[in-house]
Amino acid sequence: MNRPTHPWRVVVIYPTRSIEREEAHKFGDILTLERIERIYLDELESDSLGVGIVKLVLLPEETAVDLAKSLVEKSKVQLTDAVKQKNIIELLETIIVYKLPEKSREEIAAMFSLGDLKQTRFYRDAFADGEQQTKEEAVTRMLKLGLTLEVIAESLDLPLSVVQTIANSANNN
């Protein structure tokens, strides 16, 4: 029989103590077990970057931006590894992008004061999507003008196979 060396434990994370009271009737029997530990994020005094990120996910958008800004600054101070720092900042950006879907990438970058927006993965991904769409539109227009696939590929500095794929897609629509 396989017996674990350590007995199981469960950690339940609540944004506030009041949420627990709302959910108690659903899980009351389980929550009374000794092996259940509760954590209330609003009561944590931790200066941890990780705890801050968890709090950021749960905060309403009005207060999330301020916390995100402070977490960016904290990551610049606490993390000496440039790759880890960049990854944390990109994670923070991603969280804010999902919290503020109405904001443009420039507005989000301005909120963070990140300097060169073009260095962020969010910008690169969004720019690549926009650039691809622009090239597809250009190929379609050039085809309508009667240009050959080879001329279009050379003009737009695209591989011929990409131009052929776009042309096939345009013919199917």
- Residue from 124, 125, 135, 130 nearest 167 by CA: 135
pLDDT at residue number 146: 80
pLDDT at residue number 14: 80
pLDDT at residue number 113: 58
Quote the CA–CA distance of 66 and 130 in Å, as a whole number.
29
pLDDT at residue number 166: 85
pLDDT at residue number 23: 60
pLDDT at residue number 1: 62
Quote the CA–CA distance of 78 and 74 in Å, as a whole number.
6
Reduced to 3 states (helix: H, G, I; strand: E, B; else coil), residue 145 is coil
pLDDT along the chain (173 residues), means of 10: 75 80 67 81 80 86 85 86 83 82 73 54 60 78 83 81 85 71
Decide: pTM greater than 0.75: no
Quote the CA–CA distance of 90 and 141 in Å, as a whole number.
36
